[in-house]
Structure 1
Amino acid sequence: LTATHSAGGLIPIPPLHSNRIFQYFLLFPLNRYFNIISIVFLINRSETPLIYRAVPSWFIRVEMIVQQLLENNNKCYWVPEFVQAKRFANWLTNARDWAVSRNRYWGTPIPIWASEDFSEVVCVGSVEELEQLSGVRVSDLHRENVDHITIPSCRGNGVLKRVSEVFDCWFESGSMPYAQSHYPFENKKVFETTFPADFIAEGVDQTRGWFYTLLVVSTALFNKPPYKNLIVNGLVLASNGQKMSKRLKNYPDPMNVVKDYGADALRLYLVNSPVVRAESLRFQEKGVKDVVKDVFLPWFNAYRFLIQNVLRLKQEEGISFVHTADFSPANTMDRWIISFTQSLVFFMKEEMAKYRLYYCGSSTGEIHRPVDKLGELGKHECLDSMHTLFSVLYSMTRMLAPFTPFLTEHMFQNLRHLLPWELNDSNASLHYIMMPKPRPDLIDKEIERAVSLMQSVVETGRYIRDKVVVPIKFPLPEVVVIHRDPGSHDDLKKLENYILEISYAVAESLSSRYHAHASGTLLVLLDATPSQEMVDEGVAREVINKIQKLRKKAGLQPRDAVEVLYKVGGEGGGASLTRVIENHREYIETTTKGPVNPWTSTSDLSHKIVEEEQKMKGLADVMLHLWIIPKPESSSGTNSIPLVDPVPNGDGPIPVCRYVNLVLFLPPGPTLRPAGLLATLLLENPVGENILTLNQLKTEVCNLLKSYLNRDLHIWVVAGGNTEPVTSSCDLLSLHRQTCTSVRRSGPLPVDCGFPPTEPLTPFSKFVDVTLDNGRQATVMLENPKGVKIIAEKDAKIVAKQLF
């Protein structure tokens, strides 16, 4: 088709009938010669017609090696297997000769020189050979540098010229194993020891693309497969099942997904999806959010729980927790947790060795199950449980490092300080450490089976609760378990320490008061008949739940000494709620770790931390008003902060980086933190780089306070004998060598707030200056807050190199 010859006389031929018409032309030659057959498709992006034109091409004779291709395919290990046995094998069986030439300018020139009538053809095998044949020095193989080169004919046909075509880009992709090593001209031994590749992974569409071209080229050259193991991924589609399209913008911005939920959450969502089974996935952003909620938060809360108890043990008992590798739990539940974790490690290692990521991804949903079983314990039992929890967390962080590299690295940087080893380069990062090896001596299948049965009973009971609308916090008088296997009763008996009461009986006539649900071979009967005692205990649990949520809202830690005041409002049911709280006061106080007292007209609320009024479920028109205040014995009656150690004077050493000192407490009211909590924050690091903004400064303060309330945080500085707020318009570098404080309120700050002298001070926290390899100077804090060790001085340079 040209500008002067339109397509008006051509009939578009649907693809379904094209082969039949081709055969017709072959059987009944026409007087005129047609070199154009018009088969019209719509281009996906532009939605304009695409016209195919038959042109001369260069082919690889694939049909001659189909049997070798099938044999080499069978030598590979595919995941999932059905792609190898069906989709790819079917494609190979029907393989046709491969047109490897393209009629375009950009591309790798096909190294064929031929006479005009193609009676003489030379295929050049190297730059050196081309130089010998042509007598021309060659330094660049792009077509603009080789198209003009000619080769004298050996048969008297004048000169040979390079053909005009370039290689199909898929031929280049199929040649990747050899091109990357410049084989066979260089690195011959390296290539021979690393070929075929141990592992490759690509989408299922590459059965007609890269997987195929790699196999064709390798089979043609060496009659061997180019790879040993393959993972085939499915396609990620838009939520409506359409192909993701930049033009249609039918998918969320991936960078926004990473920003909102983290790269680890996105990675784990994909690993735990049909994509790793070579099936299509309709991408749902909610699925990434669910990974955070269902996997990361329980896991991180368990890690946070351990760190909080490590700090509490140090402060209250003077014990520095260090995990021992030979720890062997005696407690039944601890033995189950350890056994379950080791079984999971064994399963994960086995599945990863088989390249089956879909089972690994599904098992990550189990990681939170072992870490939520610790209760109120004595010192020795607490230590045992902490050893158990550390063992679980440490194994899980190493096991899941390939799937969630950022979260696990964050956890490891704290956990590594609780191990009896010397910190050095070899353990500076989690990703320097090998995956954990399963310990068969810690696996107890009988305990795992017993706990699994108990969990099934609990989960089935919860289903019945939902069915009859009984809240989870309300206790019930009886659960009847019926199982056809008598051994299951023995399994439950092993866990009788965790069951309030257990009895055995042969099934007789069952009362109509039971609600039943079956799960497999298990039948659970639930007595949902309410008694006043059970209802009262359920209300007490509801009160505990509201107090705990209010503590969390205030950013309080378990070790914070606070008191809860309550006031009941409403008629009728109000007296009932007051009675429940009084009767269950000890239970409520033990669980919430602090005194719970009724509000009176003489109660001092001037130092309240937080308050809230809430409606009680199941009690009509009854409101519970709660206040959280510092415990009276922790109050000094003023807003001053007694400093434990003398304030350093201005004559001591100072770091190369500019810094600000901080006195940390949480007004209004007396501090809830240990008296004299001092810290030092660097305003830059290395020198002149990474200068803090006000929001970053607030975030660092919140990290020191273990608080997430940076939106309510205000920073103040002493200037000229007065306290002034630090705002976004301030030049933070002007705070160098000054002292600030943080408060969770706005408005004037009392001048007697306990600030040290206002002259320039040396840092509160210990530090060390480091000169980096590129000559830059940096500062590494050895402790923060003051007295809380972060790293050893000998590790400072290692840390600085990792950070900068």
Structure 2
Amino acid sequence: DWNLSRSRYWGIPLPLWSTEDGKERVCIGSVAELRSEADKAVAAGVMAAETAEAFFAELDLHKPGVDELVLVSPSGQPMRRESDLIDVWFDSGSMPFAQWHYPFENQEEFQAAFPADFISEGVDQTRGWFFTLHAISVMLEDSPAFKNVLSTGLLLDKDGRKMSKRYGNVIDPFEAISAYGADANRWYMMGNSQPWENLRFDLKGVQEVQRKFFGTLFNTYNFFALYANIADFHYPESPIPLAERTEIDQWITSVRHSLIRQVEAHLDDYEPTRAVRLIDTFVQEQLSNWYVRLSRRRFWDGDAAAFQTLYECLETVALLMSPVAPFFADKLYRDLKQTDQSVHWADFPAWDEGAIDPRAEGRMDLAQRVTSLILSIRRKEKLKVRQPLAKALVAILDPDLRQELSRVQALISSEVNVKEIEYITEDNTILVKKIKPNFRVLGPKAGPQIKEISAKLRNFSQDDIRNLETKGRVNLELSDGNYVIELADVEILSEDIPGWSVASDSGYTVALDITLTEDLQQEGIAREFINRIQNLRKSNDYELTDRIVIRISTHPDWDAAIRAYGTYIQSETLGDQLELVAEDSIPNGEDIEINGISGKIWLDRV
């Protein structure tokens, strides 16, 4: 249990020389003092001059070299060094002083850097480095060695077992880095669990991070670069003011500045996992899956505000991710800004309170909720998003919420491919709702009253249900007193109506008109052809600006749609000419299938 010295062949010596009887002892405090004591020993004849000269010529203070020196005591007795070493962690613990050669020089530099702001090491260093740093600092400076410590947990296998050759579950870090990159491994480890917790390491998780986060970010930058080069975009010295940009530009800018603020706060609080997860969500869900996807046409049209907004988002991501993914961030930053300057020389981004708009973020959150509900109905009814629908009804009782939603209505319509969105007010007779107890929540709370509460809920009118949805709680008069029912205590469902399909979630209800008129069906067919033609353009390695000739094999089930929407198909695919021809006239055409019907498409560059 002795925590100071160790018996080893090589290492840092205890600087103690003693006589054989142990009655006289000297502790050496510097090389200069050791040299002075050696000179005395040579003069007293207890050590050969050649021995001292050879030692100081090499000046290796480690054992066993230093043990060649024999010093002399005040009484003239030879003194030899104590054979033990000092524990290596005391050597490491002297780092704050040794790095400055303090106290012999650099006093100002030392005082400016001591104590350290932050230190991080494994939990096993609690009795090692962490302790010796403090022990030495307290002895010398009456001060702790550091202000903050982040003690990391242990690395376990995916099943939570310690990695061991005996179990055959050891992962070679160099193989993991070679396969997936250092940044993907680091991002996975930092984002998977808090650093101070034990980490279950699974290479499938690293692969998923590489594909989902880094792959998404890579594709987002490539999308930007592709259209920016076509539009000859360069980020201007005076960008378009935020107030003059679109609703979705203002939203993503607000989210971006909120992200900077949150990431900065988490990193300042030594919460890197929360910071990494926020960046991850921003890139995958908000930037790629929402902003870029809903703004694609603007990039095709060369919209300067869209390019500037996406550029700012990518620059911010590069800066925020750089402490965790330094290589990818540096590549992204240099390519984006067309510079040789590293991201690691740039300042950490600053957030602007004036750019953060909670109402804009709330509007877009509402738009995403409504969009999700409509898309869930499409999945239930097996209606592709490419198939246009006539109308969606959104039940919003709050007039302020209706006003907010109307500002993002065009985005919703575009995303869900619905021609018209209408709002249902409290006096509607279209949506009929039902209410029933949420027994999992209400049962434990209500106990024996649950039977009477269920009966009361069965008698709720549409007005009663709307009142509960609006206020969040209502009072029920029971035989033994009053009971307050909250929204979480019940389930509110909407009944489907003929020709419509209904979905509800978290207090929001939408109804989708699923009736397909002939015109809607024809437009849906046209959109399917646009999709096939765009895929063929890509597989044929056509440039984005290439004009094409299109020939489609004739078929009675789609000829009318192509004639009605031919101009639309050409405008979406850069087609200079579109013809319906006999299938045997395009033998080299590509086989296609539209709504279960087979045919051919032939493309050629103009």
Q: TM-score, structure 1 length as denominator?
A: 0.57
The residue number in structure 1 matching 2:277 is 362
Is 1:629 the counterpart of 2:604? The answer is: yes
State how 1:538-687 maps to structure 2 within 5 Å.
538-567=524-553, 575-594=556-575, 597-600=579-582, 612-616=590-594, 619-620=595-596, 622-631=597-606
Could you say what secondary structure the match of 2:366 adopts? Answer: helix
Could you say what secondary structure the match of 2:144 adopts? Answer: coil
Q: Is the 8 A contact 2:320 2:349 kept in 1?
A: yes
User: Residues 411 and 628 from structure 1, CA distance in 2 versus in 1: closer, same or farther, beyond 3 angstroms?
Assistant: farther
Provide the rounded CA distance (Å) in 1 between the counterparts of 2:558 and 2:165: 59
State how 1:126-525 maps to structure 2 within 5 Å.
126-135=30-39, 137=52, 138=56, 139-154=59-74, 158-245=77-164, 250-276=169-195, 278-314=196-232, 321-328=234-241, 329-365=244-280, 366-368=282-284, 369-370=286-287, 371-372=291-292, 373-377=294-298, 382-417=303-338, 428-463=341-376, 465-466=378-379, 470-482=383-395, 486-498=399-411, 499=413, 500-506=420-426, 508=429, 509-510=431-432, 511-513=495-497, 514-519=501-506, 522-525=507-510
Provide the rounded CA distance (Å) in 2 between the counterparts of 1:285 and 1:211: 31
Post-superposition CA distance 1:651-707 (Å, at most 9, x none): xxxxxxxxxxxxxxxxxxxxxxxxxxxxxxxxxxxxxxxxxxxxxxxxxxxxxxxxx
Q: Which runs of 5+ in 1 are unaligned?
A: 1-56, 60-98, 315-319, 418-422, 569-573, 632-804
Provide the rounded CA distance (Å) in 2 between the counterparts of 1:627 and 1:258: 45
Post-superposition CA distance 1:481-532 (Å, at most 9, x none): 446755322321222333432323116552424443423xx32334374525
Provide the rounded CA distance (Å) in 2 between the counterparts of 1:333 and 1:374: 8
Provide the rounded CA distance (Å) in 1 between the counterparts of 2:211 and 2:10: 50
Provide the rounded CA distance (Å) in 2 between the counterparts of 1:110 and 1:202: 26
Post-superposition CA distance 1:408-442 (Å, at most 9, x none): 4334444335xxxxx7xxx6333332233223333
User: Residues 286 and 623 from structure 1, CA distance in 2 versus in 1: closer, same or farther, beyond 3 angstroms?
Assistant: farther
Question: Percent of counterpart pairs with the same letter?
Answer: 31
Provide the rounded CA distance (Å) in 1 between the counterparts of 2:590 and 2:240: 45
The residue number in structure 1 matching 2:48 is none
Provide the rounded CA distance (Å) in 2 between the counterparts of 1:553 and 1:175: 63
Q: Is the 8 A contact 1:515 1:528 kept in 2?
A: no
Q: Is the 8 A contact 1:345 1:399 kept in 2?
A: yes
Q: Is the 8 A contact 1:401 1:430 kept in 2?
A: yes
Provide the rounded CA distance (Å) in 1 between the counterparts of 2:211 and 2:332: 18
Provide the rounded CA distance (Å) in 2 between the counterparts of 1:174 and 1:375: 57
Provide the rounded CA distance (Å) in 2 between the counterparts of 1:287 and 1:599: 51
User: Residues 467 and 604 from structure 1, CA distance in 2 versus in 1: closer, same or farther, beyond 3 angstroms?
Assistant: closer
The structure carrying a bigger helix percent of its residues is: 2
Could you say what secondary structure the match of 2:231 adopts? Answer: helix
User: Residues 240 and 195 from structure 1, CA distance in 2 versus in 1: closer, same or farther, beyond 3 angstroms?
Assistant: same
Post-superposition CA distance 1:525-553 (Å, at most 9, x none): 34374525555555544443333333333
User: Residues 548 and 395 from structure 1, CA distance in 2 versus in 1: closer, same or farther, beyond 3 angstroms?
Assistant: same
The residue number in structure 2 matching 1:692 is none
The residue number in structure 2 matching 1:81 is none
The residue number in structure 2 matching 1:527 is 512
The residue number in structure 2 matching 1:38 is none
Provide the rounded CA distance (Å) in 2 between the counterparts of 1:393 and 1:147: 61
Deviates more, 1:356-365 or 1:522-531: 522-531
Q: Is the 8 A contact 2:315 2:336 kept in 1?
A: yes
Q: Is the 8 A contact 1:198 1:227 kept in 2?
A: yes
Could you say what secondary structure the match of 2:318 adopts? Answer: helix
Which of 90, 108, 111 is the equivalent residue of 2:12?
Answer: 108
Provide the rounded CA distance (Å) in 2 between the counterparts of 1:252 and 1:467: 43
Q: Is the 8 A contact 1:398 1:436 kept in 2?
A: yes
Could you say what secondary structure the match of 1:367 adopts? Answer: helix
User: Residues 244 and 379 from structure 1, CA distance in 2 versus in 1: closer, same or farther, beyond 3 angstroms?
Assistant: closer
The residue type paired with residue 354 of structure 2 is D
User: Residues 433 and 181 from structure 1, CA distance in 2 versus in 1: closer, same or farther, beyond 3 angstroms?
Assistant: same
Provide the rounded CA distance (Å) in 2 between the counterparts of 1:255 and 1:432: 28
Post-superposition CA distance 1:703-755 (Å, at most 9, x none): xxxxxxxxxxxxxxxxxxxxxxxxxxxxxxxxxxxxxxxxxxxxxxxxxxxxx
Q: How many residues align?
A: 506
State how 1:720-759 maps to structure 2 within 5 Å.
none
The Cα RMSD (Å) is: 3.4
The residue type paired with residue 306 of structure 1 is F
Deviation at 1:450, TM superposition (A): 0.5
Q: Is the 8 A contact 1:479 1:524 kept in 2?
A: no
Provide the rounded CA distance (Å) in 2 between the counterparts of 1:175 and 1:302: 48
The residue type paired with residue 192 of structure 1 is Q
Q: TM-score, structure 2 length as denominator?
A: 0.73
User: Residues 140 and 404 from structure 1, CA distance in 2 versus in 1: closer, same or farther, beyond 3 angstroms?
Assistant: closer
Provide the rounded CA distance (Å) in 1 between the counterparts of 2:179 and 2:167: 23
Provide the rounded CA distance (Å) in 2 between the counterparts of 1:390 and 1:349: 21
Q: Is the 8 A contact 2:392 2:422 kept in 1?
A: no
The residue type paired with residue 613 of structure 1 is D
Deviation at 1:449, TM superposition (A): 1.3
The residue type paired with residue 323 of structure 1 is P
The residue number in structure 2 matching 1:700 is none
Q: Is the 8 A contact 2:551 2:601 kept in 1?
A: yes
User: Residues 406 and 119 from structure 1, CA distance in 2 versus in 1: closer, same or farther, beyond 3 angstroms?
Assistant: same
Q: Is the 8 A contact 2:17 2:26 kept in 1?
A: yes
Q: Is the 8 A contact 2:227 2:302 kept in 1?
A: no
Deviation at 1:471, TM superposition (A): 4.2
Could you say what secondary structure the match of 2:591 adopts? Answer: strand
